[in-house]
């Protein structure tokens, strides 16, 4: 710093310093502080606080380095985020929010800010009971069709990878979403990590805290309240009816998530327009995490003591369709994600520490409605019905169970049936299967060619010590519920606000949360208050 900058700093200003440190130095606050003081040209004793503003890992360099932006202050630092204030809405106009996933939860929080009363209806159980139901699913293999890895408080994101990174930064205020998560108990590192992640072990507590906020400010939250009908007067949606016969009145934010097939079928049967949309399907690929660490950090010791479990991201075009990694879970587990009996679906999750033995990722092929055989799968529900048919076929290949049909990676590429299977984190178990026979050729062929391409990009990636597990089908919604770009209402039904992943307008926790916020703001405009 210049002499003038030092004087300003010592009178209460802060400065931001760019640092490039070894992983060991970056992990030690004392070393970090020393390095920052040296670069700024000020004594360490003059630094009252150090706050990390940005942190990322540059694995392209040898050795690996950590890039940081740190804020040095000569006085005690302000709070790392601005807490949001919520209004008491007990006597305010009601808004019905259907679904307690990220879109529904953040729509509810925004409604509190705006002075409107959210009535949040969730078909599944609260997040505490969900844990018990999921444990039962893994233990018994029996799916609770109202409480599983997709249904229940927190939605599919509550027990998944828990990633908060999004490219949809123009859709809303990402920093506010992250701050609200911290306000409700998430670790502060999500504010500055390049690829923030909460972890499936910590998300439930955050979700419970959000529920407490909603209830303590006059909102309502109802579990095991499955919405089965919209209450309509002509083209105006006035409320909803649940499976127990209860009715709730107000404009409706429909945030049911991408697995709520019964809602799509209801809308279609009622003549409320929906559209088939592109999505992706494939497998869950599982390696040993140590191998991925070696591959990404390009050092035999792997990540060592100070680096996080490594991630990867691949994409390749094959015959006009993208094949890409999806929901990569370092140090994670493969989980059973079916929502009904007779389905076989896999997904991934990671705990906050990402210390599991395995790494897994979805490896999926982009599909468009026109890719499907039109004699079997067409119309607004065509992609949904194809998705469902593939899950039931996978269930049959799994010997009528939630075990996962599986094949070694190189064997799959070479079209060879695996003689045996390697270890896996998938607790329900595996069934040795020919995945080329399971999947239609327009999926399996593209996957095999893409794996060869990924193997050329990254040594060690293409290995027979990796497993493919079927089927990864719940990447996004197979249906889009149309809405006006300005009002965010369904074009044919006033008072209905399709929202989030289930409506086809988001693709992750943060983007869904931002869409929930946007829909809440549109509801306020609709109500004119």
Q: Quick one: pLDDT at residue 62?
A: 84
Residue of 34, 22, 14 whose CA lies nearest to 67: 22
Give the pLDDT confidence of 158-170 residue by residue, as tens digits.
Answer: 887 667 877 666 6
Beta-ladder partners of 55: 68, 193
Q: Are residues 460 and 494 in the same domain?
A: no
Q: Are residues 317 and 454 in the same domain?
A: yes
Greatest C-alpha distance within the chain: 77
Q: Are residues 284 and 241 in the same domain?
A: no
Give the pLDDT confidence of 270-316 residue by residue, as tens digits.
Answer: 999 999 999 999 999 999 999 999 999 999 999 999 999 999 999 99
> 63 pLDDT exceeds 60?
yes
Q: Are residues 340 and 426 in the same domain?
A: yes
Q: Quick one: pLDDT at residue 180?
A: 97
CB atoms within 10 A of CB 301: 11
Higher-confidence residue of 271 and 74: namely 271
Q: Are residues 421 and 319 in the same domain?
A: yes
Q: Are residues 357 and 249 in the same domain?
A: no
Q: Are residues 163 and 49 in the same domain?
A: no
Q: Quick one: pLDDT at residue 423?
A: 96
> 231 pLDDT exceeds 70?
yes
Q: Are residues 355 and 447 in the same domain?
A: yes
In Å, what is the CA distance from 212 to each residue of 218, 282, 460? 10, 38, 47
Position 111 in a domain: yes
Number of domains comprising the chain: 3
> 498 pLDDT exceeds 70?
yes
CB atoms within 10 A of CB 213: 19
Instruction: Tell me the angle at which helices 509-527 and 102-114 cross, rounded to the nearest 10 degrees.
Output: 40
Average pLDDT, the chain: 94
Residue 178, both tokens: 């992250």
Q: Quick one: pLDDT at residue 529?
A: 80
Q: Are residues 153 and 202 in the same domain?
A: yes
Distance (Å, whole) CA 424 – CA 428 = 10
Q: Quick one: pLDDT at residue 11?
A: 59
> Which domain range does residue 41 map to?
3-73
Residue 39, both tokens: 């670069």
Dihedral pair phi/psi, residue 330, rounded to 5°: -70, 140
Which CATH number does the domain housing residue 228 bear? 3.50.50.60
Dihedral pair phi/psi, residue 389, rounded to 5°: -65, -40
Position 88 in a domain: no
Q: Quick one: pLDDT at residue 157?
A: 84
Least-confidence region, from 131-140, 141-150, 169-178, 326-335: 169-178
Position 409 in a domain: yes
Give the pLDDT confidence of 456-468 residue by residue, as tens digits.
Answer: 999 899 999 999 9
Span 16-42, average pLDDT: 94
> 143 pLDDT exceeds 90?
yes
Query: How confident is residue 3, by pLDDT bands cut at 50, 70 and 90?
Result: very low
Which CATH number does the domain housing residue 20 bear? 3.30.70.2700
Q: In a 10 Å sphere around its CB, with 0-12 CB exposed, 13-18 middle and 19+ buried, how is residue 296 labelled?
A: buried
Q: Are residues 252 and 302 in the same domain?
A: no
């Amino acid at each position: 710093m210049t002499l003038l900058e030092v004087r300003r700093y010592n009178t209460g200003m802060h400065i931001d310093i760019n640092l490039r440190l070894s992983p060991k130095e970056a992990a030690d606050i004392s070393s970090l502080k020393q390095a920052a003081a040296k670069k700024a040209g000020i004594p360490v004793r003059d630094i009252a606080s150090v706050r990390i503003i940005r942190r990322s890992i540059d694995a392209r360099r040898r050795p690996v380095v950590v890039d940081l932006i740190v804020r040095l202050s000569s006085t005690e630092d302000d709070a790392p985020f601005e807490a949001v204030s919520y209004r008491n809405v007990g006597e305010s106009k009601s808004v019905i929010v259907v679904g307690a996933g990220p879109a529904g939860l953040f729509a509810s929080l925004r409604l509190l800010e705006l002075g409107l009363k959210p009535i949040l209806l969730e078909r599944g159980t609260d997040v505490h009971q969900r844990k018990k139901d999921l444990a039962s699913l893994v233990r018994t293999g029996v799916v609770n069709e109202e409480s599983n890895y997709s249904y229940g408080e927190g939605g599919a994101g509550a027990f998944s990878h828990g990633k908060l990174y999004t490219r949809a930064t123009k859709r809303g205020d990402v920093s506010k979403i992250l701050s609200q998560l911290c306000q409700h108990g998430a670790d502060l590192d999500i504010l500055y990590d390049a690829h923030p992640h909460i972890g499936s072990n910590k998300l439930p507590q955050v979700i419970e805290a959000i529920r407490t906020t909603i209830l303590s400010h006059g909102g309502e939250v109802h579990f095991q309240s499955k919405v089965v009908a919209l209450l309509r007067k002509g083209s105006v949606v006035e409320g909803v009816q649940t499976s127990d016969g209860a009715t709730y009145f107000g404009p409706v934010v429909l945030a049911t998530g991408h697995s709520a097939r019964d809602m799509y079928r209801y809308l279609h049967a009622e003549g409320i327009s929906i559209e088939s949309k592109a999505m992706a399907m494939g497998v869950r690929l599982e390696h040993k995490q140590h191998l991925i660490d070696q591959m990404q950090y390009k050092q035999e010791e792997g990540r060592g003591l100070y680096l996080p479990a490594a991630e990867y991201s691949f994409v390749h075009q094959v015959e006009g369709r993208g094949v890409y990694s999806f929901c990569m879970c370092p140090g994670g587990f493969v989980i059973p994600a079916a929502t009904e009996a007779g389905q076989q679906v896999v997904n991934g999750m990671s705990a906050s520490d990402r210390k599991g033995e395995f790494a897994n990722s979805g490896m999926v092929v982009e599909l468009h409605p026109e890719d499907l055989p039109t004699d079997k799968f067409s119309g607004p529900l065509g992609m949904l019905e194809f998705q469902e048919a593939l899950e039931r076929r996978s269930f049959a290949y799994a010997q009528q169970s939630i075990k996962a049909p599986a094949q070694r990676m190189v064997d799959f590429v070479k079209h060879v049936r695996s003689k045996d299977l390697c270890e896996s984190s998938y607790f329900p178990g595996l069934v040795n299967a020919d995945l080329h026979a399971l999947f239609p050729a327009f999926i399996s062929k593209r996957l095999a060619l893409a794996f060869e391409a990924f193997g050329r990009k990254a040594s060690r990636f293409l290995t027979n010590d990796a497993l493919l597990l079927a089927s990864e089908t719940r990447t996004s919604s197979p249906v889009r519920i149309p809405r006006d770009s300005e009002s965010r209402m369904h074009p044919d039904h006033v008072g209905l606000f399709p929202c989030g992943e289930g409506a086809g307008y988001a693709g992750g926790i943060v983007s869904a949360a931002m869409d929930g916020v946007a829909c809440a703001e549109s509801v306020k405009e609709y109500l004119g208050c």
